[in-house]
Amino acid sequence: MKQVAVIAYYADDPTRTYQLVQWLPVLEVLHRTHPVTIVLRDPDSADVLAPRTSLPVLCAPTFPELTALYEELNAKVVLYCNNSILNFQSLIDGRRLHAHVNHGESDKQSMASNNAKAYDRVFVAGEAAVQRHVAGLLEFDTRRLVRIGRPQLDLRPEPVLAPSTRRTLLYAPTWEGDADYNDYTSVDTIGPDIARGLLAVPDSRFVYKPHPKVVTTPTTSVWAAHREILRIVAAANAADPAAGHVAVERGDILAIMPDCDAMVTDVSSVGLDWLYLCTDRPLFLTDRHRDADRLRQDVPVSRCADVVDDDEVGGLAALVAARLEHDEHHLARVAMRHHYFDDLQVGDSTTRFLDAVAGLAARRDRLLGAVPGRDESDGDAIIA
């Protein structure tokens, strides 16, 4: 098999493949200069991902198969989009450099995981992510952090929504997480009330785009609320067919945002993607835990958004209508965008990502003595 430069490793089941799917177009760009192969551990995930990309997709279900495949591929760099426990079977290979790229930028507690210490490099968006790691981890070497922005935001996917003369209001909640500490969803607390509130804004079109895991959740309360929101959308369309209200249960939310005028979301990467792409449009952030002080401290983007909780959701329609007329948080969002993404413009993140991977590949060769020269700076040009 032809030698590759980069392995994109993914070990989880199909319900989490969205984590890698968002990287596929970026990896395809990388492939032009540094050949990429996707290595999976779950055959069902391979069935999901293979039709989505032109990149080679290989599956190594067992550890012996994985080690044999790595020896055959002889890649220089391995990229990880999550912190699956099976990542450690890949990390055991000490002849490659390992970089965590994550699958979004958010203020969820899981974004500054102690697992970061296992990787040679951790690619992050900007200053906010650096501060998150400094505050959240003990004995963490911040020299491992490489600020690359968010390459997915350089993409321009095909639009999903039909054109409309109405103001389009997006509700894009996250899922409930895999532990209480990481549960930020509003679906089962105020989700239906948010839907009703946005539908009550005059001359509006409502779009419901839940996190992919909401659609497949085993959590009864989240599933019931999700189904209720779908029922509310269907009823609103029956009452006003011309409105074009829609629930988009699957698809790329980055293809939806450009055609929306305001968004309600939870603490997740979605809110920060909106901050980057739609800085000039109102953002509303939910607070599941009803702890305003904690939210302002732990989630800086909340300082440039209107916060919605159980007490405030009843006035959501009036609040959204008011912000559409006078967006008083606009300048604060401009400043906050810099906090999360430095001063990057469209295209800069992809360039940083490509340069960072190329630097790591060169560094690996020098560390193994394959290329003469100093290795102190390779892969560190954009370090925190």
d(C-alpha 182, C-alpha 350), whole Å: 29
Beta-bridge mates of residue 147: 124
* Verdict on whether the full-model pTM lies above 0.75: yes
d(C-alpha 123, C-alpha 130), whole Å: 10
Q: Are 295 and 307 in contact (CB under 8 A)?
A: yes
d(C-alpha 115, C-alpha 124), whole Å: 14
Please measure the distance between the N-terminal and C-terminal CA atoms of the chain and give it in whole angstroms: 37
Question: Which pLDDT tens digit goes with each residue over 241-262?
Answer: 999 999 999 889 999 999 999 9
pLDDT given for residue 140 in this prediction? 94
Which one has a higher pLDDT value, 4 or 306? 306
Question: Which pLDDT tens digit goes with each residue over 72-92?
Answer: 999 999 999 999 999 999 999
Residues 6+ apart with CB under 8 A from 290: 309, 310, 311
Can you spell out the DSSP letters for 170-223?
A: EEE-----SSGGG----HHHHHHHHHHHHHTSTTEEEEE---HHHHT---HHHH
Residue 191: pLDDT above 90?
yes
Q: Are 243 and 205 in contact (CB under 8 A)?
A: yes
pLDDT given for residue 2 in this prediction? 62
Residues 6+ apart with CB under 8 A from 265: 170, 171, 172, 173, 174, 271, 274, 283, 284, 285, 286
d(C-alpha 270, C-alpha 185), whole Å: 12
Residue 381: pLDDT above 50?
no
Task: Please report, rounded to a whole number, the percentage of residues in the chain having pLDDT higher than 70.
Answer: 96
Residue 372: pLDDT above 70?
no
DSSP label at 309?
-
- Residue 23: C-alpha distances to residues 8, 19, 153 (Å): 9, 8, 11
Residue 280: pLDDT above 90?
yes
Round the average pLDDT of the chain to a whole number and report it. Answer: 92
**What is the average pLDDT across 7-27?**
95
Residue 379: pLDDT above 50?
no
Nearest 10 degrees: CA dihedral of 171, 174, 175, 178? -170
Residue 19: pLDDT above 80?
yes
- The CB-side HSE value for 220 (13 A sphere, CA atoms) comes to 0
d(C-alpha 220, C-alpha 223), whole Å: 5
Task: Tell me the residue length of the chain.
Answer: 384
Q: Are 58 and 67 in contact (CB under 8 A)?
A: no
Task: Please report, rounded to a whole number, the percentage of residues in the chain having pLDDT higher than 90.
Answer: 84
Tokens at residue 192, please?
């239906």
Reported as a pLDDT band with limits 50, 70 and 90, residue 373 is low
- Phi, psi dihedral angles at 30 (to 5 degrees): -60, -35
Residue 279: pLDDT above 60?
yes
Residue 17: pLDDT above 60?
yes
Residue 374: pLDDT above 90?
no
Q: Are 100 and 80 in contact (CB under 8 A)?
A: yes
pLDDT given for residue 265 in this prediction? 97
Three-state secondary structure call for residue 18: helix
